[in-house]
Every structure is written in C-alpha cells, then in structure tokens.
Amino acid sequence: MTINHPAPLFQLFWFLILASSSITAKADSVDLIIAADYIVTMDDENTVITDGAIAIDKGLIVAIDSRTSIEKAFTARQKIEGKNRVLMPGLINGHTHAAMTLFRGIADDLPLMEWLTKYIFPAEIRFVNPEFVRTGTQLACLEMIKGGTTTFVDMYFHPREIAKVVDKCGMRAVIGAAVIEQESGYTKDFRDAMNKAESFISQWQGKNSRISPAIAAHAAYTISPDNLKFIRQRANKLGVPISIHLSESRAELEIVNKLYGDTSINHLEGIDFFNGPTIGAHVVWPTENEISILVKRKVGAIHNPTSNMKIASGFAPIPEMIAAGVHVGLGTDGAASNNDLDMWDEIRMAAFIHKGRLLDPKTMPAAMVLNIATSGGAKAIGLGDAVGSLTAGRRADLIQISLEATHLVPLYDVISHLAYAVDAQDVQTVIVDGEILMRDRKVLTIDEDEVIRKARVIAAKVNAEIRSSQ
C-alpha cells in the first residue's frame, strides 16, 4: 500500500529535519580550530589542502577540511587564524641525547672514537648529574619546540629527569634509559644500568600517554652478546622498544669484526637481538644483505646526516634503504656532535647529500625528505598509528609556519619551500596532543630566560673545571 503525504506537510517535515541537523552540526564544540592557507597533511596521498582548517578536541584531530567547511561544522573555544601560514605535522627527531646540549661545542673536528673516548665519556663521568640532565633537557626541549619538533627519541642517563621535563613542557618522547657496561657516572656497571632502566620503565610506563619508556643499549661494541640478549629478553617482557647506535662508523665495524668476526647488523641478527621493536640510530654502513635484515625485522633506521658528516662517519645509503622497504626516520643526534637540534637543517642535508652522492638530482625529492621527518619517522620509531600525519583520529601534534619572511617569497610550491627554504625561526605555533606549546614564537611551557640562565651557570662550571685540569 502506498501512502501519499500532503506536499506542504512533507516539505515541512524535511525542513525541520534539515534544520535540526544543521543546528546540531553547528553546535559541535571543540577545543581549538587552527587554520592555514595550506595544510600539508603528509598522509599516504601527500594531500595538500588549500585554505583549510583543523578542528581539535581532547588532544585529537576531529576533522580536517576547507576552512569554510570546518567553520560551518564546529564552534571552538579558541581559534588560531591562518593567513600566510602553513600547517603540517610536527617534526619527529628520531635520535637525540637531549641533555648534551650542555656539551655543545665542547669538542669538535675529531673522529668518532677519539671524540667519545677522550672527551665525551670522561666529561660525562665528571659532570653528568640530575641537575645537569634536567637543565640540559630543558634547553633541548626549548630549542626543539622553537624549531617545530614535537616528538623526539632520547638516549641518556638519569631518564627520570628527562621524563619530568617532557611531562612538564608538553612534548612527546620515547625516552631510552641508557645502558652500557662501563662506568658512566650514573651507573657502575651493566647490572646497575639495567636495574635503573627497569626501575624507570616501571615508574613511567602508562603514566603519561606522551611518554614512552624504552631501553637504550649503547652499541654492539660496548655491550657483550650475552648482555645484549638479556636486554632484548627484558625489553620484550616489559613491552618496550630498544634504541641502539647501529653500524655508525667504520671504526665500529672494525671493533665488532675484531671481537666477533662479523659486521654489526649481522652480529646482532645472529643473537636474535632484532626480535622485537628496535630503533637503529645512524645505520651508515649496512650491506645489501643487512638492509634485507632491517626490512625483515622491521627495524627503524634513523638518518643523522649532519652529525654523520661532521664526525666523518660516512653517508648512509638512505635512498637504497627506502627503496628496499626500510622504515627510515630523521634525527639530529646530540648537540655535542651536530651542534644543534634543528630538524630543518637535517631535512635539507638529507636531500642534498644523496643527490650529490648518487649524482642524481631526482633522488630524495622534497616530499620524500618531508616524509622521513614526519610520517615515515613516526613509523620508524613505532608511533605511526598515532602521529606523523594530519588525519582525523590521530593525536593533534602539528606546527604552523609563517610564509612572511623574505626567504619564502615568492611561493610556487609549498612542498618545495618546506624542504628547501623554511628555517626554524619560521615556525610560529607548536601544538602537541592538542595543547599549545608555542604561539607566535612564544614558548608557553618553559621559562626560556630561566633555562638559559641555569645552562650558562652549569657551562661556566664545566669550562672552569676543564681549564683547571689542562
């Protein structure tokens, strides 16, 4: 049986439904709407939205669309305008020693092993204490926030101090408790280092969604095979990743070959070290077979081009690793070997050195290097489901960049500018987990003047002690 509704009544019925739907959509309230002339999503299709906006609520990206559509669908308790601005995912620094900002410039122009054994290891024993790590990490986080880094992977001593700083300043971090066999000033030996690492993990695991505890095994040449096996066993039982310096230099390969008759990656594969989430820092000298191991074991490889060039470690075969299917991220290393934490420098270096190495201007194009600094980097460190690209449902970790500086005029291709022209000082706003950490170049979660003052006091003590011992 067919029922014919009177036309006026039928039209009124649908008008009320549509009006109600419109009112409901307009009434959807979110914490923040942030706009931009360009939104570079770094999603799987490298989508760029022109004149767009993002709605953020409870730390999540709720919606991303044209500015008009977002403003029709949502009201916000706070808005950030976007004229002459770009929005993109926050940068991911896949390998740092954050507290070593306080060793910035302490020893330069030296080979890696001489730099480590004659300068860095002795300095750490003499100077690294909770106050040093706390202040150094604050200085590092301040520098990274101002440069648009929202997530970093750290490897250092006194991880509780690092976690406290990250907790307070609002960044996201994978914090690796450093494990090494030799005395460090923080730990007496391997057993002490592992006990402290596990204590840290127990205290911080699940405490803050922005902080992921990890074990940071120093390297294959500083930790014995049995102890490396033990680290993997404990990491798997505790459900945490391992970060490790991996195939960083020829000197490392020579030591590992002398000790175990193999290369670093083959040696670690032989003891089943990669049987669990692993973040490998540097990966400068992998063989073709070892690249296959990294793919099979899903090891994230973190490219540190500036540090590797400065210490003359070599040029990692990054295009080859990406082509083979390795998850590659980008990092700065510590400020003692870089000597800064500027990811924009790393983006440019990662593009340029491989074009020059391979004599191919088409290798490592702009979109690819942006990928390893964002979405690819997130996958490499095990956070690919949460951050790294701007899509609905992901954590709201993003940065807003100004296009007003002279070095960004004119603009033909926004991807080109982000890879080859943008500098740290162009970053205007930084948001992590929906919270604004920096707005209009003002960091809101760290007292910049106080941190710089404390850093200078510690540096003066370090300098005075070094001079007195010479």
298 with 263, same domain: the answer is yes
Tokens of 190: 């391997």
Residue 448 falls inside a structural domain: no
212 with 335, same domain: the answer is yes
C-alpha distance from residue 345 to each of 11, 172, 340 (Å): 61, 21, 9
The structure's pTM equals: 0.92
179 with 313, same domain: the answer is yes
CA distance 364 to 150: 23
**What residues make up the domain containing 187?**
91-387
Q: Average pLDDT, stretch 345-357?
A: 97
344 with 407, same domain: the answer is no
CA distance 234 to 42: 35
83 with 173, same domain: the answer is no
Per the structure, the count of domains in the chain is 2
47-72 pLDDT tens trace: 999 999 999 999 999 999 999 999 99
**What does the buried/exposed string (b/e) look like for 390-419 if buried means 16 or more CB atoms within 10 Å of the residue's CB?**
beeebbbbbbbbbbeeeebeeeeebbebbb
Residue 8 falls inside a structural domain: no
Q: Average pLDDT, stretch 9-14?
A: 38
CB atoms within 10 A of CB 425: 13
Query: Before 319, cis peptide (omega within 30)?
Result: no
> For residue 410, which phi and psi values (nearest 5 degrees)?
-80, 175
Given a contact cutoff of 8 angstroms between Cβ atoms, the answer to whether 175 and 140 are in contact is no
Given a contact cutoff of 8 angstroms between Cβ atoms, the answer to whether 344 and 147 are in contact is yes
393 with 375, same domain: the answer is no
Query: Before 4, cis peptide (omega within 30)?
Result: no
Residue 126 falls inside a structural domain: yes
Q: What is the length of the chain?
A: 470
At 390 the pLDDT is 98
Tokens of 369: 């290097």
pLDDT of 21 over the 70 cut: no
Domain of residue 268, CATH code = 3.20.20.140
307 with 411, same domain: the answer is no
94-130 pLDDT tens trace: 999 999 999 999 988 988 889 888 888 888 888 999 9
74-99 pLDDT tens trace: 999 999 999 999 999 999 999 999 99
215 with 252, same domain: the answer is yes
249 with 200, same domain: the answer is yes
37 with 170, same domain: the answer is no
pLDDT of 7 over the 50 cut: no
CA distance 123 to 125: 5
pLDDT of 22 over the 70 cut: no
At 11, the pLDDT band (50, 70, 90 cuts) reads very low
129-149 pLDDT tens trace: 999 999 999 999 999 999 999
At 182 the pLDDT is 87
259-316 pLDDT tens trace: 999 999 999 999 999 999 999 999 999 999 999 999 999 999 999 999 999 999 999 9
Residue 450 falls inside a structural domain: no
Return the C-alpha torsion angle 385, 389, 393, 399, nearest 10.
130
> For residue 326, which phi and psi values (nearest 5 degrees)?
-75, 140
